Amino acid sequence: MNPEHDKGHGDQSETVDAPVVVEDVLVEEVSIDGMCGVY
Amino acid sequence: MSLVDTAPPPTPLRLVDHFERGLDAPICLTWELTYACNLSCVHCLSSSGRRDPRELTTEECKAVIDELERMQVFYVNIGGGEPTVRSDFWELLDYATAHHVGVKFSTNGVKITPEIAQRLAANGYVDVQISLDGATAEVNDHVRGPGSYATAIRAMQHLSDAGMRNFKVSVVCTRQNIPQLDEFKAIADRYGAQLRLTRLRPSGRGADVWDELHPTPGQQRELYDWLLAHGEDVLTGDSFFHLSAYGQALPGLNLCGAGRVVCLIDPVGDVYACPFAIHEEFLAGNVREAGGFTGVWRGSELFARLRQPQSGGACSSCQFFDTCKGGCMAAKFFTGLPLDGPDPECVQGYGEQLLAQRADASGLPKHSGDHSHRTSPPRPRTGMGPVRLTLTRRADLSAPPVSACAEDPLAGFHPEASARSGSRPSAERTN
Amino acid sequence: MDPSAQWRLHPQVSVRPEPFGALLYHFGTRKLSFLKDRTLVRVVDELLQAPDAIAACDRAGVAAENRATYLRALETLAASHMIEERTA
């Protein structure tokens, strides 16, 4: 729990390292049959 | 050893959000290899027919492929004109696939012999797309020319016989062929192919036939319902995202990729945002410049502008803006509509209203360059294409007029005929 | 998807790193997958050398409480054939 690693929070003294919030869905899939702009 | 970030990440963006901002390299792109074509389809988006003498050489093409490989472009959609009429086409195709660039090429089928079909079936990094704009010869050939339906079907037969599965049959949807959607599906199924339906844009020669050929509002609805019913079985090149304003979005990214994730390289190396927008306004640069294609993709001022967040302008208050995005940039441009407003075929009717108010047709932007074949008179802006002439002989003449060089002093002299018609000599065959 | 099996990227998949994660394109299926998270990209990179998928997560620095999320992501990739079990 080392504040120096917490780059995003600067020197806010009341900062507590939050548990990592990981977005639940990490993969998005699409079919790329020519995106529009390709014929 | 990398560590998990301890700062809570911002809400991750969707793929579409990243694409809207542009990528360091295209995902795929269209490359028109030549303006030469054996056909003269009335709606040709690139106004093709005659080869341009400034075409990229084989070596220049290979240099472009090397760049695409470095950029990790996944695949290139090769078209034209008719790309297979370039004598180095098969060499370039092999070069691309050997250099980790997938190839899908669009063709009218003219060169797809059984032998070629075998070669193509054996290459896992090649996709073939046969163009067909009618499920019957009558409908197809009206737009693509006599014999073109037979050529396309023959190519499909050869590909099917060679064991090529899932090649594409690609249709440009028009007022005349929308009643044939089920029949198109049957044709694709018959040859083990996948059907692809795409949108007609008022681009190239398409501008000349737009008024007659673009779908009616009722047909757009019919097409939308049909596409929803067929889901991912039928491809669309993501060209119908403006129809998402009917309600449920169609499968696909529903995003205009122009200048962001895709672009066009034309036969003389010009880089445009989109193959439907061959015009100065959408010209980003040329691959022959010092920075090559990479330099244009990354440094072009036009592309930087397209990668900025786009304001929806007049469309942003519409509830469907999120999936429709104001429709097709090229369709708006060539029908004289402002780019920050509705698509000419806006399903809510906003485009139609605006078209009624706009300046008359003579002020519309024109496609840059015209490589059309010169065998017919120029097409009028409205009207369906070449004037059909029938050549006949005059019934009253049995031979050409007497030449001024004829040596016989009596050549052309017929006393009986002269007596009937006055002093005019009648034609007489001279030996 | 068996997290205790050995996995690897499918040989027909091309991985293109991006600032936001990576794009994966499968030349066989013509599908594009978007990895939204750089850690997931590291997990996928570790698959080939790791004894199993769980070890790959560990090596990529995935905290234990997030492991399920990453395994679910791997499941999605397995279902679309972007990754496959390896035998050796």
For residue A15, pLDDT over 60 is answered with no
Question: What ipTM does this complex have?
Answer: 0.91
Where in chain C are the domains?
7-85
Neighbours of chain C (3+ CB pairs under 8 A): A, B
- Check A39 against B45: CB less than 8 A apart: yes
Q: What pLDDT score does B57 carry? A: 98
Q: Which among B15, B235, B238 is the top mutation candidate for probing chain C, defined by the most C β-carbons within 10 Å of its own β-carbon?
A: B15
Cα dist. B281→A38, B365, C84 in Å?
A: 18, 10, 46
Predicted pLDDT of residue B162: 98
Q: What is the pLDDT of residue A12?
A: 42
**Structure confidence at residue A17 as a pLDDT band (50, 70, 90):** very low
Burial class (CB in 10 A: 0-12, 13-18, 19+), A37: buried
SS3 call for B119: helix
**Closest-CA residue to B412 (of B423, B390, B428):** B428
Are C34 and B12 in contact (CB < 8 Å)? no
Nearest CA in chain C to A23: C69
Q: What is the pLDDT of residues B125-173, one digit of tens each?
A: 999 999 999 999 999 999 999 999 999 999 999 999 999 999 999 999 9
- Write down the pLDDT at residue B13: 75
Residues in B closer than 8 angstroms to C43, CB to CB, are none
pTM: 0.83
pLDDT (0 to 100) of residue B363 = 85
Higher-scoring residue by pLDDT: B10, B39: B39
Count of beta carbons in the 10 Å neighbourhood of residue C80: 17
pLDDT exceeds cutoff 60 at C30:
yes
Pairing of strands C7-9, B283-286: unpaired
**May I ask the CATH architecture of the domain C7-85?**
Alpha-Beta Complex (3.90)
Give residue for tokens 């044709």. B187
Contacts of A31 in chain B (CB under 8 A): 232, 235, 251-252
The overall average pLDDT reported for chain B is 89
Determine the residue of chain B that is closest to A5 in CA distance: B6
Instruction: Say yes or no: B252 contacts chain A, CB-CB below 8 A.
Output: yes
Residue type at B237? G
Residues B376, B377, B383: CA angle, nearest 5 degrees? 105
Residue A2: the pLDDT is 40
b/e map B68-103, b = 16+ CB within 10 Å: beebbbbbbbbbbbbbbbbeebeebbebbbeebbbb
From A6-20, B404-418, C1-15, C62-76, the region with the lowest mean pLDDT: A6-20
Chain Cα centroid distance, residue B207 = 12
Range from B6-10, B281-285, C31-35 that averages highest in pLDDT: B281-285
The residue of chain A nearest to residue C66, with distances taken between CA atoms, is A22
Q: Is the pLDDT of residue B268 over 60?
A: yes
Cβ-contact B144, B41 below 8 angstroms: yes
